[in-house]
Structure 1
Amino acid sequence: MAAEPGCGAAGARRGYEQFGGAVAEFSSESTPWWPARPAAAGAPNVVVMLVDDLGFSDLGPFGSEIPTPHIDALAGDGWVFTNYRTAPMCSPARASLLTGLNPHRAGFGFVAHIDPGYPGYSCEMPEDAPTLAESLRAGGYATFMVGKWHLTVESRLHDGADRSSWPLQRGFDRYFGSMDGFTSLHHPHRLVRDNSVVDRAEFPEDYFLTDELVDEALGMIDGLRANDADKPFFLYFAHTSVHGPIQAKPADIARHRGRYEAGWNALREARFARQRELGIVPAHAELPEDALADGDRIPRWEELDAGERQLFARHMEVYAAAVDEVDQSVGRLTARLAELGELENTIIVLASDNGGTAEGGPSGTRSYFAQFGQSVPLPDGWVRDVPRAPEEIGGPRVFGQYPTGWARVSNTPFRSFKASTYEGGVHAPLVVSWPAAPAAARGLREQFVFVSDLAPTILELAGVPPLAERHGRPALEPDGRSVAALLGDPAAPGRTSQYFECTGRRAIVEGDWKALSPLAPRRSEGATGGAWELYDLAADPTETRDLAAEEPERLAGLAERWRTEAWRNTVFPLDDDGSLFELRPASEAPLSEPVDLAPYRPPLERFRAARLTVLRSFAVEITIAWGPEAAGVLVAHGDQGGGYLVAVEDGRPVLVYNAYGDMHRAIGAPIGPGTGRRELVLRVDELPELRWRLRLEIDGAPAAEIPSVPMLLGMAPFTGISVGYDYGGPVDWELSQRRGVFRFSGGAIERLRYVPGARSTHDRTQLRRIDEAIAALAD
């Protein structure tokens, strides 16, 4: 991990204290143009709608061919920001949006799946950082949230966890959604209402999460209005779309059939032409050629065979349908606000959290977890895309992600993708609507705005001061500054500078200039080491001409400025070898100890369940009271994205393994008549090349075996462990079609115990007493 001298935990803490007050630079103060009034006197409602992994060009106002009439209407009633930038990944952007802090100062130098012990990577918002919701609630607002949270470190998502970083404890009166980074839209792996998991064993055949999120949001608003006709509300609607797995409803997919047969190059050029017509990009902007625009990662459309074109086009049809469904959610929400007579005085902010993602790889995938979130090198022959019929993509049986070629279309006209510090990773769409604002003030805005500016802007528009303290501690000074003046004055200034960092990739924008380093430096090179590039964004907004060789002094100055900003924002240490993601607090160790699970309860939470199985051997010990009619699922872990299951059907033991969509089944001999107690043991043992062998024993005798299958790695199995039934998205689709959740009956599950075994040699996790070290520093 590359760092400045003395940057260990203590050094990072000192940097945090010394530079914690750094703020954004603006060249003038905001000039109010809206009526100043307290929340109790007709303050506007506020809706912030965040879309996950949406590319810059994916909405109609930004050049997309995807019909988005409701978002188009928002843009017509408001402002389209063409120079809005965000963090390169989702959790950092969300933390910055809610706190007004830069991502690392907000605790999120990465997504909420690490905790190495450094302030910039704690994956918890600081206790002395009031959220937008907390300030608005103190100012008289009702505060609601639906959708993706992803601001609690994953080890604190389980039912016994400290909830201090959950939505209700961070300012929201009501919450409904998925606390994790994403989920299946047809069968969510886990839903939380307020502070509790939703106890729901199965979903209706036509269930779709986006629809339920809208239903819940409207219910919160209607519930408020039934009891208080005047109280303003803040709704944070954090879409799970269009993050993978990309899914959509059949009717919506059908509307986009045939739209993408021309291929990604033709669609990219068409979007670029529309962007020029709309004024979204300047006339002199150039579309980066293949050599710069990841051409080595994208197959040439004209060289694909007919089957590949059909498959790849289907991926994009599903993506377009998912964007369409986001637009439909906007339409349902604005229609209800219009019925209530409140649309006119509602501020709506719609944005993406980062650029479109290349996670799908050159060919896309129908086996999302086979390649997403992996922390170990995959062996030769690893299947990243288990074949399934193209028409199943988008449906409940496929966890898919579109190919890199379509991600490049999403990010038109920019280079690169999510997690990059090129513009494709950080340049995102932003639409702001407030119909009550003067019509003459609306239109395009080209000034630089960063995600940390949104919270201060909203507070200023609402007439609510930010909280001065939280939990008795003075509030951290925000990094963002209100850009409300931009809404009334197209000539008002935006910000002048901003740093960026993600997994050692670095960048800084200073006026018209941008310096970036696309790779982490080696440890010996220091914070400003490695190869840097330099771009004049005024002349070259799409980063096609590297001026590093022509302007070495300017580049050196910008790199040094980046280093200064990195110290101010607790960016260090940089991850130069992956070890930043291997360190975890020793307080997580109990999550890997043997555990007894009761039947018929909501599934054990994903991360908690994963500590028992991922990158290790393990055993499941099951004691059942056997009866002649005994049947049903004994234990299920996972879903259509990957998992395993033990059941009894027709008197026989059934062992099922879903290897990222590739099904394996072993059915044993009849268990036998009569009653009594049966002892079953599922043994899952590691084999070479990241494989498992599964063996089921009954009363000590072999009953069924699956000899060799790929391990479930990373974030699979995604759905947690359910005992006595197969929750939600089934492990075995065919069994589910016959039996539903197949609740165990005709006997009783007396005991089910998970016993984790030896950790894989591939698991490089290091548990350290991080919590104790931080506490000692605080003393």
Structure 2
Amino acid sequence: MTQINNGSYPVRDYAGFGGMVSEKASESAPCWPPRPTAPAGAPNVVVMLMDDMGYSDISPFGGEIHTPTLEAIAGEGYRLGNYQTPPMCAPARAALLTGLNPHRAGFAYVPHMDPGFPNSAMELPADAPTLAESFRAGGYATFMVGKWHLTVESKMHDGAAKDSWPLQRGFDRYYGCMDGFTSLFHPHRLVRDNGQVVVDEYPEDYYLTDDLTDQALGMIGELRANDPAKPFFLYFAHQAVHGPVQAKERDLETYRGRYDAGWDHIRDERFARQIEIGLFGPDTRCAPRNREAGADVVPWDSLTEAQQRTFARYMEAFAAAVDNVDQNLARLANRLKAMGEYQNTIFVFTSDNGGTSEGGDTGTRSYFSRFGGVRTGLPEDWEPDVPRDPDLIGGPQTYVHYPRGWAYASNTPFRMYKTYTHGGGVRVPMLVSWPAGLPRAADDDGVRHQYAYATDIGATLLRLAGVEPLAERAGIPARPADGVAFDHWLRDASLPTLHTEQYTELNGRRAFIEGGLKAIAPAPNGPGWDEGGWELYDVAADPTETRDLAAERPDAVARLAERWRASAWENQVFPLNDDGSFNRNRPATELALEAPVTLFPGAPTLERYRSAKLVRLRSFTIEVDLHWREGDAGVLLAHGDQGGGYQLRIEDGRLVLAYNQYGAMRHASAPLEPGARSVTVGFTALPGFRWEIGVRVDGRAAFGLDEVTMLIGMAPFAGISVGLDRGGPVDWELYRRHGCFRYRGELSSVRYVPGPKAAYNPEVILELDRQLVSVFD
């Protein structure tokens, strides 16, 4: 962890929710903000955000994926060829919604950490009005569907304070997933407004992208049924195409065989189209194959035929999921046309960061073993891709992600991927359209090459809509935003950008843009603080970062490195998470989430993170009290889903333990005698990230599994359900037989008792309050 103390490090009270809240502000909060009427004829505003989609994945940016709705929007609007973003989702979303650089907004990273620093508060600051709050104060109805991912995970459970939930940050209505990702066929947890949506069993044809669109249309319809004139702001944040990548069968069929030629061929095709449609000049060079250790891409022709067949399936699923987003956007656009409101609706479509390499070199059919397994100390026999039938790729039974060779194609023509500060991580597609207010001249191709950044979206939309950004929030003066409106060069392509400098940082990787120059420090633990750790590119002439000029222009390197440092201090970037300590350190307040808990049949599913704290990287015991009679059957408890989990059930008179080892199933069982029964399931942590599982009935050993691969990282993902299996089935074959298999019998309770943490559990509990007091003793 790098922290340079120059005496100006900002120290602030982060009590409350992300900032200081005065008594006066709290007293005034119930009547804040005012709700005036929007000006007559004010436009609707739709911001649609994709997850982990690369620069070239949609057809207006050179892709072959069928996206005719986006093509139509681009045809009547504008393509921003040089739009850039933080290289990870939550920082990008925080910047978009607040207009603040991500560290000033409290999101140096994603909210799966809580180290106690202002740059990683993982809650939007109290003095930072969101775009929704400004639109609502301007007389708009404000709706959100989809991925939020702006609440620290320890405050996503049903008993948590909801200060940083969507409704408390400006949205009138919300429906979606608070987490960073979920299954598109069996979402692990959906939230409507401020409460969990309890779904025992999803319909056979359920697909989350369709559901989110249905909900958005419903919100708009309810508004229009009651107020025919009030404009709305809709923030539609897709879960697609974050892993696990999943698609509907009919969409998968559309792309069968389309990617058999491989990622090299697709990248060449896409780049040729990008030149043809004017995104890049004819002299632009496509960046060469990534060769950095852990990021390298092998030639497609070097793969075996079996690898090529399997790897092509991954990209078919990815393309099918993007295609489905376009189909659903068509539903939204057509509804607005039927209402007569399409022409007066501002559309923004973009991605939160570039395509991701988290699928590894071979891709994975067991996303959580690959995604959660990115850590040192794992045993050599750890399986990052549990073998499954390739025909299952993209469907509900597999949690998959594509090999990074496809991310190399997604990010055409740039280098590297999500989390990197090279172009592949930060340059993404961006479309803006407003037929009534931003009409395009007949001789204008709509391509804009000016620089724009995620912080600029809010300022631009508010200006276009004629809405003033809030000057205060809950009685607290609003901190100055960093965003710069760019509506002027949408209207006139000859005008320059006003956003001329921008820092970037993630996990110690740094970059700084000054006009046409970009300096990059790619190594998280490299020298970095002087010109020795930096690359330099003239991105005006070389947008794909192919010619490093650092050795030729050391003066420019030194200047930009110093500008990065100064900007970092201005934006509370320090300390850096360049040693991973942010991921290890947790506040003592989380100890309450590790307390034993008693759960009762039919209760709402225990939230994911609360459930995880009971079992993660530790031993634990489950105590089940029931009275069993002949014929009683069903799931007693379930934790997890097709990505990994465990389940205890009674079926055909047998007590059955099912363990889903990232897609590989293991079972153990024994007959059960009628009567009152106390069942104890003990998980004992073993060396090498293993559990031994023993099941005891009335205190006597009954059966167990000698050794299983431990579920780590984000697995088990669905939370704990009692009396049925919700949120994605642990055991697919049981699900096909019985669905959620609600228990029919007398089940009293299920109690979880956490035990000792494993020696390889890296978590460090920081008792900050006690440490601070000791300073003054």
- What residue in structure 1 maps to residue 29 of structure 2? none
| Contact 1:77 1:442 (C-alpha < 8 Å) held by counterparts | no
Question: Is the aligned partner of 1:398 residue 2:398?
Answer: yes
1:44-83 map, 5 Å: 44-83=43-82
| Contact 1:634 1:723 (C-alpha < 8 Å) held by counterparts | yes
| Contact 1:107 1:123 (C-alpha < 8 Å) held by counterparts | yes
- What residue in structure 2 maps to residue 431 of structure 1? 431
Amino acid at match of 1:671: L
CA distance in 2, matches of 1:453, 1:133: 15
With over 3 angstroms needed to count, the CA separation of the structure-2 counterparts of 1:772 and 1:56, relative to structure 1, is farther
1:748-767 map, 5 Å: 748-767=746-765
1:622-637 map, 5 Å: 622-637=624-639
With over 3 angstroms needed to count, the CA separation of the structure-2 counterparts of 1:597 and 1:295, relative to structure 1, is closer
Partner SS for 1:685: strand
- What residue in structure 2 maps to residue 607 of structure 1? 609
Q: 1:455 aligns with which of 455, 458, 482?
A: 458
1:630-669 map, 5 Å: 630-668=632-670
CA distance in 1, matches of 2:736, 2:528: 58
- What residue in structure 1 maps to residue 26 of structure 2? none
- What residue in structure 2 maps to residue 741 of structure 1? 740
Question: Is the aligned partner of 1:109 residue 2:108?
Answer: yes
Identity %: 56
Question: Is the aligned partner of 1:496 residue 2:496?
Answer: no
With over 3 angstroms needed to count, the CA separation of the structure-2 counterparts of 1:14 and 1:133, relative to structure 1, is closer
Unaligned residue ranges in structure 2 (runs of 5+): 20-35
| Contact 2:146 2:238 (C-alpha < 8 Å) held by counterparts | yes
CA distance in 2, matches of 1:628, 1:538: 76
Deviation at 1:774, TM superposition (A): 9.2
- What residue in structure 2 maps to residue 481 of structure 1? 484
With over 3 angstroms needed to count, the CA separation of the structure-2 counterparts of 1:645 and 1:15, relative to structure 1, is closer
- What residue in structure 2 maps to residue 720 of structure 1? 719
C-alpha distance after superposition, 1:220-239 (max 9, x if no partner): 00000000000000000000
Q: CA RMSD in A?
A: 2.0
Question: Is the aligned partner of 1:13 residue 2:17?
Answer: no
- What residue in structure 1 maps to residue 95 of structure 2? 96
- What residue in structure 2 maps to residue 380 of structure 1? 380
Amino acid at match of 2:516: D
Deviation at 1:769, TM superposition (A): 3.3
- What residue in structure 2 maps to residue 244 of structure 1? 243
- What residue in structure 2 maps to residue 204 of structure 1? 203
With over 3 angstroms needed to count, the CA separation of the structure-2 counterparts of 1:531 and 1:330, relative to structure 1, is same
Question: Is the aligned partner of 1:254 residue 2:238?
Answer: no
| Contact 1:78 1:442 (C-alpha < 8 Å) held by counterparts | no
Partner SS for 2:694: strand
With over 3 angstroms needed to count, the CA separation of the structure-2 counterparts of 1:366 and 1:775, relative to structure 1, is farther
| Contact 2:9 2:569 (C-alpha < 8 Å) held by counterparts | no
C-alpha distance after superposition, 1:668-690 (max 9, x if no partner): 1x2124x3x10000000111111
Q: 2:598 aligns with which of 577, 596, 601?
A: 596
Give the TM-score of the pair, scaled to structure 2.
0.94
Amino acid at match of 2:760: H
1:186-205 map, 5 Å: 186-205=185-204
- What residue in structure 2 maps to residue 583 of structure 1? 585
C-alpha distance after superposition, 1:276-303 (max 9, x if no partner): 0011122221112236577972232212
Select between 428-437 and 440-449 the one with higher mean Cα deviation.
440-449
Partner SS for 2:264: helix
| Contact 1:347 1:432 (C-alpha < 8 Å) held by counterparts | yes
Deviation at 1:445, TM superposition (A): 0.6
- What residue in structure 1 maps to residue 574 of structure 2? 572
CA distance in 1, matches of 2:373, 2:429: 29
- What residue in structure 2 maps to residue 24 of structure 1? none
Partner SS for 2:513: strand
Deviation at 1:581, TM superposition (A): 1.6
CA distance in 1, matches of 2:596, 2:294: 49
Amino acid at match of 1:156: K
C-alpha distance after superposition, 1:95-143 (max 9, x if no partner): 0000000011011000111111111111110000000000000000000
CA distance in 2, matches of 1:178, 1:445: 34
| Contact 1:520 1:574 (C-alpha < 8 Å) held by counterparts | no
Q: 1:468 aligns with which of 463, 467, 471?
A: 471
With over 3 angstroms needed to count, the CA separation of the structure-2 counterparts of 1:588 and 1:529, relative to structure 1, is farther
- What residue in structure 2 maps to residue 411 of structure 1? 411
Amino acid at match of 2:679: L
| Contact 2:343 2:435 (C-alpha < 8 Å) held by counterparts | yes
CA distance in 2, matches of 1:486, 1:40: 25
| Contact 1:442 1:487 (C-alpha < 8 Å) held by counterparts | no
Partner SS for 1:753: strand
With over 3 angstroms needed to count, the CA separation of the structure-2 counterparts of 1:291 and 1:210, relative to structure 1, is closer
Partner SS for 1:218: helix
With over 3 angstroms needed to count, the CA separation of the structure-2 counterparts of 1:363 and 1:488, relative to structure 1, is same
With over 3 angstroms needed to count, the CA separation of the structure-2 counterparts of 1:38 and 1:722, relative to structure 1, is closer
Amino acid at match of 1:620: I
- What residue in structure 2 maps to residue 280 of structure 1? 279
With over 3 angstroms needed to count, the CA separation of the structure-2 counterparts of 1:284 and 1:38, relative to structure 1, is farther
Partner SS for 1:321: helix
| Contact 2:295 2:416 (C-alpha < 8 Å) held by counterparts | no
| Contact 1:136 1:459 (C-alpha < 8 Å) held by counterparts | yes
Deviation at 1:526, TM superposition (A): 7.1
1:266-277 map, 5 Å: 266-277=265-276
Deviation at 1:12, TM superposition (A): 4.0
Deviation at 1:11, TM superposition (A): 3.0
1:92-241 map, 5 Å: 92-241=91-240
Q: 2:516 aligns with which of 512, 515, 523?
A: 512
Unaligned residue ranges in structure 1 (runs of 5+): 21-36
| Contact 1:507 1:515 (C-alpha < 8 Å) held by counterparts | yes
Partner SS for 1:220: helix
CA distance in 2, matches of 1:267, 1:176: 36
Amino acid at match of 1:672: E
CA distance in 2, matches of 1:127, 1:619: 40
C-alpha distance after superposition, 1:286-343 (max 9, x if no partner): 1122365779722322122221111000000000001101111210110000000000
CA distance in 1, matches of 2:568, 2:77: 35
Displaced runs of 4 or more, over 3 A: 291-296, 373-376, 525-530, 769-777
Question: Is the aligned partner of 1:445 residue 2:448?
Answer: yes
With over 3 angstroms needed to count, the CA separation of the structure-2 counterparts of 1:771 and 1:71, relative to structure 1, is farther
| Contact 1:3 1:527 (C-alpha < 8 Å) held by counterparts | no
Amino acid at match of 1:464: V
With over 3 angstroms needed to count, the CA separation of the structure-2 counterparts of 1:699 and 1:529, relative to structure 1, is farther
Amino acid at match of 1:763: N
Partner SS for 2:73: helix
With over 3 angstroms needed to count, the CA separation of the structure-2 counterparts of 1:60 and 1:219, relative to structure 1, is same
| Contact 1:46 1:234 (C-alpha < 8 Å) held by counterparts | yes
| Contact 1:84 1:427 (C-alpha < 8 Å) held by counterparts | yes
C-alpha distance after superposition, 1:624-657 (max 9, x if no partner): 1222222111110000000001111111110110
CA distance in 1, matches of 2:384, 2:363: 9
With over 3 angstroms needed to count, the CA separation of the structure-2 counterparts of 1:708 and 1:322, relative to structure 1, is same
CA distance in 2, matches of 1:328, 1:148: 19
- What residue in structure 1 maps to residue 32 of structure 2? none
| Contact 1:350 1:430 (C-alpha < 8 Å) held by counterparts | yes
| Contact 2:373 2:384 (C-alpha < 8 Å) held by counterparts | no
| Contact 2:76 2:439 (C-alpha < 8 Å) held by counterparts | no
C-alpha distance after superposition, 1:713-755 (max 9, x if no partner): 0000000000010113110011111111111113x22121100
With over 3 angstroms needed to count, the CA separation of the structure-2 counterparts of 1:293 and 1:693, relative to structure 1, is closer
CA distance in 2, matches of 1:224, 1:38: 14
Deviation at 1:463, TM superposition (A): 0.6
- What residue in structure 1 maps to residue 296 of structure 2? 297
Partner SS for 2:678: strand
CA distance in 2, matches of 1:219, 1:291: 45
Deviation at 1:14, TM superposition (A): 6.9
| Contact 1:520 1:530 (C-alpha < 8 Å) held by counterparts | no
| Contact 2:386 2:662 (C-alpha < 8 Å) held by counterparts | yes
Deviation at 1:442, TM superposition (A): 6.6
CA distance in 1, matches of 2:530, 2:115: 23
Deviation at 1:773, TM superposition (A): 7.9
Amino acid at match of 1:637: H
